[in-house]
Amino acid sequence: MQDTTLYLTDIFQVVEPYLKVILVIVVAFFVISLIKRIVRRFLDVTCLPLDVRNILRRIVVYVLWLFVLMYVSIALRLEEIFMPLIGASVLVGAAVALAVKDALSDAVAGIFLLLDRHFNIGDEIETMNRRGEIIDVTLRKTRLKTGDGTIVVLPNGKIDSSGWILHKEKT
């Protein structure tokens, strides 16, 4: 009888970390879903553009899942495997960031242009030897309609670095 009790205790000690991990993942799924809804409601009342709100919401969710993944790796004693993977993923992330640095530059500049609100749709600006009415500002690109009706698409990173002149504001 005592051998059976010891055997069940041994099994429970082996299975216990896995049960905790399953419980943490289930609870994390519901908690992160709730936090995602709260963040969405909070961001919906801000004046941020839709694409900026989506990026911020995704960042919050990814960071929370990263914490869950770190807990799981520690609970299952997988740090020795997980830490080199994190190091490798940092290197891959740096390589990808270097590969898409212009797109990232445009996106960051777009966030600042959208948040600062130096110009709005309908304003006439001059930038990068182009003059026209702003018809659209997105996270990466700004579209101008020139005097002859041509639509010019300019990257936000270049607009931000070269500067602009606001000629008139339409009301």
Contacts 24+ apart (CB under 8 A), 110-115: 110/137, 110/138, 110/139, 110/140, 110/141, 110/142, 110/156, 111/52, 111/139, 112/160, 113/137, 113/142, 113/156, 113/159, 113/160, 114/48, 114/49, 114/52, 114/139, 115/48, 115/52
Give the pLDDT of the chain (171 residues) as one tens digit per residue: 555 666 767 777 778 888 899 999 999 999 999 999 999 999 888 877 777 788 888 889 988 998 898 888 888 888 787 778 778 888 888 888 787 788 778 888 887 877 777 778 888 989 888 899 989 888 788 899 998 999 999 988 888 888 888 886 555
Architecture of domain 118-168: Roll (2.30)
Ranges of each domain in the chain: 2-99, 118-168
